[in-house]
Amino acid sequence: MWRTRTQVKITCNPTIRIQSIWQLFSLALKLVLRRIDASAILVLMLAPTVVLLVGTSVVAGGFATQAQTVASLLPSGEQRFTAYSNSSSSPSASVIDFTVYTRLRDVNGVQWALPFLALNGTASNRANDLTQVSIIGTNITELISVKSAELTGGLANSSSEVDVGAISAKVLALGIGDNVTLNVAGEERTFRVAGIVNSSSQYDVAVLLPLEYAWQIWPRYTGTLSYVEFSLSPGGTQESLGSIRTLTSGGLYTVSEQGLAPTISSFANQVSGLIGVWTAVLLVLSAVIAVSASFRILSVAGEEFRVSRVIGAKTSTAKSLVFYELLIVSAVSVTAGIGGGVVAADIFSAFLRALSGVGLTPLVDPMRVGLLALASLCFIIGGGGGTLFLIFGRASKNLISYSS
């Protein structure tokens, strides 16, 4: 008996025809939403690097802007100096005799000299908001003149009044006529705010009072200063500084304020350089994380890829569907990262202000943030997309074979 072997030929004609990119994108979006739990995990994997990237950029941008602003406000034509004890690490920690000021004031070529007694303390308002401040005893009238400062209100002219720097007044929500309590080494004293001083200098974060009243209120500091600021006539710098060193027997450091501007600018540039390296590291890290994210996408979307091929979809269409899913998840992650980075920068700034009383205003530059977002998206898609194409080869080998 002869058996007849019948061969069955199965022909498969493509029936899935996606007519436009929008249709393919819409289908990918539906798949992402259908697997919302898995998609949320992917977003949580990719977004943190973008948060760090944007947050760091916003904070660093604010710092650089403020540093450059401070540098631009420093005097450029007038020869200004700060003199303090050479045994101290900084002017505010220095202790010198008041006679140093009188000697400096009388040196030939000195245009003006200002004595400063700097005390570290705390200030609190009636709501008991507390902040660290520098309490400065000086000649306020002369300070306003040489710093070209603006005074709102009046000058402190009694031992119960103070003038408050503009930034300190804002931090403590102080207005003219309000009371502020100062604490120096455990000794508290309440003062009336006579005026608010805006000098665009470090004295905007200080509380000012006349030097003679500072000695009267805190008698342990009577006859002493922390440092002296002075200005020299153009052309007589070296001769005048030589006379100053002779008068003080070499016991003073004299620091030119003009040397601070390039130092501040250089430091800001160094910070910008470090931020650039940090940005590169985070972008590479985002690409590495995207590789892992691609495996997770294919763990749930790979089966759909194979099924779509089996039922007749073109290889390019099936691959594009999975790629669009990666694109959607990446875009959502970057968007969430931008928002999270800006919020994180604001929280860090508020924490720094509460901790030290010094405000650092984040700078949200739309152009810079946009470029960072685009770079992040490219690195994520580059890392994830490359991984997808490598895995697509394995998926194709597992497809069921049909003969035509």
Q: What is the DSSP string of 106-146?
A: TSTTEEEEEEEEEEEEEEE-TT--EEEEEEEEE-HHHHHHH
Q: What is the DSSP letter of 3?
A: P
Q: Rounded to an integer, what distance in angstroms lies between the CA atom of residue 398 and that of residue 307?
A: 11
In the chain, the amino acid numbered 172 is L
State the pLDDT at residue 19. Answer: 47
Q: CA-CA distance, 209 to 226, in Å (whole number)?
A: 15
Q: What are phi and psi of 248, to 5 degrees?
A: -100, 5
- Assess contact for 171 and 353: CB atoms under 8 A: yes
How far apart CA 232 and CA 81 sit, in angstroms, is 8
pLDDT tens profile 190-247 = 999 999 999 878 888 899 999 999 999 999 999 999 999 888 776 655 666 666 666 6
Residue 4 has pLDDT above 50, yes or no: no
Greatest Cα pair distance, the chain, in angstroms, is 133
pLDDT value at residue 208: 96
Q: What angle do CA 129, 132, 138 make, to 5 degrees?
A: 115
Long-range contacts of 90-96 (CB under 8 A, 24+ apart): 91/116, 91/118, 91/226, 91/227, 91/255, 92/118, 92/120, 92/134, 92/226, 92/227, 93/226, 94/226, 94/227, 95/224, 95/225, 95/226, 96/224, 96/225, 96/226, 96/227, 96/228, 96/252
Query: Where is pLDDT greater, at 314 or 172?
Result: 172
pLDDT tens digits, 90-149: 888 889 889 889 888 888 778 888 999 999 988 888 776 667 889 999 999 999 998 888
AA letter at 97:
D
Prediction pTM value: 0.50
User: How far is 43 from 65, CA to CA, in rounded Å?
Assistant: 32
Measured at the CA of 360, the angle between CA 162 and CA 344, to 5 degrees, comes to 140
Each domain of the chain, given as residue ranges in start order, spans: 21-70+264-397, 87-250
Q: pLDDT tens-digit profile of 342-398?
A: 888 888 777 766 665 555 667 777 888 888 888 888 888 887 777 766 666 554 444
